[in-house]
Amino acid sequence: MITPPPAAAPGGLLQILDPMAGRGLAVGIDLGTTNSLVALVENGRPRCLPVDEDGGVLLPSVVRYRDGGDPVVGRRARDGAPLAPADTLASVKRFMGRSADDPETRRLSTWRFAGGDGRSVRFLAGGRQVTPVEASAEILRALRRRAEAALSRRVEKAVITVPAYFDDAQRQATKDAGRLAGLEVLRLLSEPTAAALAYGLDKGAQGTFAVYDLGGGTFDVSILQLVEGIFQVKAIGGDSVLGGDDFDRVIAQAFLAEMAAPSPAPEALVHACLVTARRAKEALTLAREVPVKIDSGGRRIDRAFSRAEMERLIAPLVERTAAPCRRALADAGLTPADLDGVILVGGSTRAPAVREFVRRLFDREPLHDIDPDQVVALGAAVQADILSGPRRQGDVLLLDVLPLSLGLETMGGVVEKIIPRNSTIPTSATQIFTTFADGQPAMDVHVLQGERELVADCRSLARFRLEGIPPLPAGNARVAVTFQVDADGLLQVTAREESTGVTQSVTVKPSHGLSDEEVERMLRESIEHAGEDVQARLSAEARVEADRLRVATEGALAGDGDLLSAGERARIEAALASLAAAESLEQTREATAALDEATREFAHRRMDRAIGRAFAGRKVDDL
């Protein structure tokens, strides 16, 4: 393992240090609906890092907020949910970039929503209001800290994956969350593209592949093609509110109906049904039948629940994935027979019913030999490695596409599309517009995203006003509007009146997202975590330095222990024991300094012996 260099040379015991060890790392992060992972490329191969309390690689994407206390993230938060279901946030990814009046806020859940201003969803948890961006930042921060603990290295940069069908608002919200977590986001990478990278399609394979990605909260399908080192996304489709969570809900609703529960059902009963549904769903991946038992508020279920029963309940949801798949194939101008393979991604693809559905849909056996929970994080790590280092021969060129069309509102509430969906990004396009009225001095620019023809049916991203248009007759002014989309799928819009050169531009920040002031406020608040981060890093570095000195000292005792008296050896061994017993940062530093002092004279004697051996039997003239 690469380790950071010591603050000072330890007692003259010379060692060769890696000059790269002090630099921060770039990792790949799968910020998942159900679980999140972080991965790193080492020795040319990606691997997921341990982030769970028991050393597992899956961190449950769950955050529990406590009155007056720091949030708890991961398995502890998930396992403690029955004690405070309303204060425990799970599946927040489904709310990224969504407005407070979004239909998603009315689905079956135990969360409480704050009455908002129509901009961003806000949860009431732990006596405070929390946005999905803040909750996601807590998950990312936990991943970063635990990765740093596992590696004894700083993690500063990341490629974060997002569903291919995430729109501009959802991508911007994900980038904000990474920023709040103290990460430089190198790129937002579509999850299906990351999965294809992990499968090694960039290692010489040629052909066209479909990636079927059904996770906890989102569904994506991508058609990807690799030709001579260029890895291009040909078409994408999906549903950003379809996944394993919905399987849980339809099963839980069946349990509630069986118990004749009132509507709305008590919070504790809803939570018990959702938890039981999730556990049963996961168990039925392997089993044909499992026992289910619910006892809450005087209502009970205690019976066997079969895979066939579950498959009847989730069948309409699985069937919903067919239309995006067929549409993506049509957009790419392909049929299932034209594909060279189908890759399964996402934990929900473990269900036998889903795998059988994909086999029938594409008329071929899908690939699932890489763990579907890990494959996206592994691919993100590959891309992080490419972006953070010098360009190498064999590195693949990724050409992603825009998930939804971008356009402007024109007279009559109609959308004029500037960049159509499935356009390769980064990209730009310019279109000329004119004034509607004589002497019109300004123009309102309303940016929209979606596939419908009317403004009311598309998603509003931003508005701005171009002032200073000369007072010309209607139709004579020429305003060039340019859309520029970067590699993350984020948009900048510029409007320029051509006769005067007056220009106005905006980096699109969705009207229902977080304002710059809110992000800055959150960043200020996150400073309180900076002390914890520094302390954790110092502790890790001190422990690494202590281990290095211990190994060097033990090796020196084994090789040159005869240079010490019995008393000197006893003092060094006592110092080694104190170092091994040290727990806190201060104790480790003190024990390291004590061992350094105890071995100083020993180091001098070893040096003298080494010099004596080097010069023994040699003449001065030879030297």
Distance CA 90, CA 93 (A): 8
Active site residue 157: no
| Residue 85 preceded by cis peptide, ω within 30 | no
365's enclosing H/E stretch is none
- DSSP E strand boundaries for 335-478: 341-345, 397-401, 406-410, 414-419, 424-425, 427-433, 442-449, 459-467
Complete edge-to-edge strand list for the sheet that includes strand 479-485: 427-433, 479-485, 491-497, 503-507
Residue count of the chain, please give it: 623
Q: Classify residue 277 as exposed, middle or buried by CB count within 10 Å of its CB (0-12, 13-18, 19+).
A: buried
Q: Is 213 a catalytic residue?
A: yes
Which uninterrupted H or E stretch holds 63?
Answer: strand 62-64
Beta carbons within 10 angstroms of residue 485's beta carbon = 23
Q: Are 160 and 180 in contact (CB under 8 A)?
A: no
525 alpha carbon, distance to own chain's centre:
22
Strand ranges, E, within 486-607: 491-497, 503-507
Beta bridge partners of 213: 220, 345
Host H or E run for residue 23:
none
Residue type, position 239, single letter: D
Are residues 236 and 220 in contact, defined by beta-carbon separation less than 8 angstroms? yes
Give the CB-side neighbour count of residue 291, counting CA atoms within 13 A. 3
Question: Any catalytic annotation for residue 79?
Answer: no
Per the annotation, the verdict on 293 as an active-site residue is no
Q: Is the peptide bond before 264 cis (omega within 30 degrees of 0)?
A: yes
CB 555 within 8 A of CB 547: no
State the Rg of the chain over Cα: 29
Catalytic residue among 134, 176, 213, 246: 213
497 neighbors 460 (Cβ within 8 angstroms): no
- How far is 496 from 623, CA to CA, in rounded Å? 77
Catalytic site positions:
30, 93, 191, 213
